Amino acid sequence: MSEPNTLIQRNLWETPWGYLESFFIGLGIIITGFFLEVFTGQTSSLTLTYPYNIYFLIIYIVLLYVAYKWFSSYQIIRWLTKVPASITSIVLVTTLVMVMGIIPQTTSDNAVINTLGLNRMTTNWAFLLTLFLFLSCLGLITIKRILQFRWSNTGFILNHLGLFMALLSGILGAGDVQRITIDTYEGKPNWIAKDIQNNPVELPFAFYLKDFLIEEYNPKLALVDNTSGSLVHNDGKNLYLITPKQQYNFNEFEVVIDEYLPSSGRVLNKYVSVNEVGSPPSAKLTIKDLVKDTIITGWVSSGSFRSPYESLKISDDYSIVMTIPEAKKFSSDIDILTKEGERISTVLEVNKPFLFNGWKIYQLSYDDRMGKWSNLSVLELVKDPWLPAIYVGIFMMITGALYLFWIGNKITKK
């Protein structure tokens, strides 16, 4: 007697939907997104600003709750709360994020990339719809576990609710992020900033720049081809830091730095130390041609906005030049003036922002042409009111992970 066939053949789209149906739904969403991208072009951005992002958040959460509470018998809702939908949405989002990492998110010369919006994935319809699918799965599963609450589900709820909060806050809060710059000059208060479109933005407080400071590295020496003007490489290196009494070998030339002046001025046939605005660095060099056995002595200077640079010709083919000193550190000593008459003093440095009234204030740049004599400091102000919600979501995920680790450790011991 033959064995009964225990394998049950299931037709496509027969309930419950599995991974194959989930794949087709996800693929259909991505194709729909690309069609929308083709027909709408760069107008596909769905950035919401306050208060519309708040309205959307409330309506979206209410709809998820209503969908699970009263429409959970519908196949689409049942599918969204099952593993195949979750796994498929995670895979699709991850794939699109990988595309975002591979294709530069700037204007492309490739017509296909521009048409499909692959170079602006954060506002791409396909990415947004796929992310919406993932968030809907995440939200419905979280609501399901909350409504069926048990203490053993605490870690699961914290992880999923934290991820839901962090992602949704990041998406909805993108429209409320303010990023502006303000030019501050020494001794002059300013409260008019500029946005990305260079439109003026009046601030409720002013900045007063007391002093702008720059620390610079010593300049460097380089050997230049007199014909092409390009730097000559010497064993893979073409720049050498200027240090008094230091000796370097440039090809067949032996170079000795006899003297270095950080701030100097030209007087007759030499440089002398001066302390004036725009006084460039200079160095006295002794160059020995090891092939011809000749010695040349002379000065080089990087120049500045008020003084021309000076190179030293050491042969018919080569000259030695001094590079412009690079900034090691620059900072702004500022006062923040409020309408109430309060004065807050702080020193801004690169990558060390100062938090004031919800704004993160960064040291951005200065007048490159003036260099260390710049009396201009450019500050950047960034405000993201949704950032605390993102941090709360991340904290919830970490707490949930620690809770699951603790519970798992207790089970293992038992």
Tell me the CATH class for 178-214+328-383.
mainly beta
CA distance 191 to 207: 6
Q: Which sequence spans correspond to the domains of the chain?
A: 19-148, 178-214+328-383, 218-325
pLDDT for the residue numbered 110 = 87
pLDDT tens digit sequence for 326-357: 999 999 999 999 999 999 999 999 999 999 99
Q: For residue 384, which of 148, 194, 174 has the smallest C-alpha distance?
A: 174
Beta bridge partners of 183: 378
**Residue 4: pLDDT band with limits 50, 70, 90:** low
pLDDT for the residue numbered 13 = 86
- Name the residue with tokens 């002595």: 297
Q: Are 282 and 264 in contact (CB under 8 A)?
A: yes
CA distance 112 to 156: 42
Q: Report how far apart, in Å, the C-alpha atoms of 241 and of each of 55, 58, 245 are.
A: 59, 60, 12
Other CB atoms within 10 Å distance of the CB of residue 60: 16
pLDDT tens digit sequence for 274-289: 999 999 999 999 999 9
Q: pTM surpassing 0.75?
A: yes
Q: Identity (one letter) of the amino acid at 63?
A: L
Q: For residue 362, which of 353, 371, 372 has the smallest C-alpha distance?
A: 353
Judge whether residue 68 has pLDDT over 60: yes
For 289, counting Cβ atoms within 10 Å of its Cβ (0-12 exposed, 13-18 middle, 19+ buried), the class is middle
Judge whether residue 22 has pLDDT over 90: yes
Q: Of 36 and 414, which is predicted with more confidence?
A: 36
Residues 6+ apart with CB under 8 A from 205: 191, 336, 337, 338, 339, 356, 357
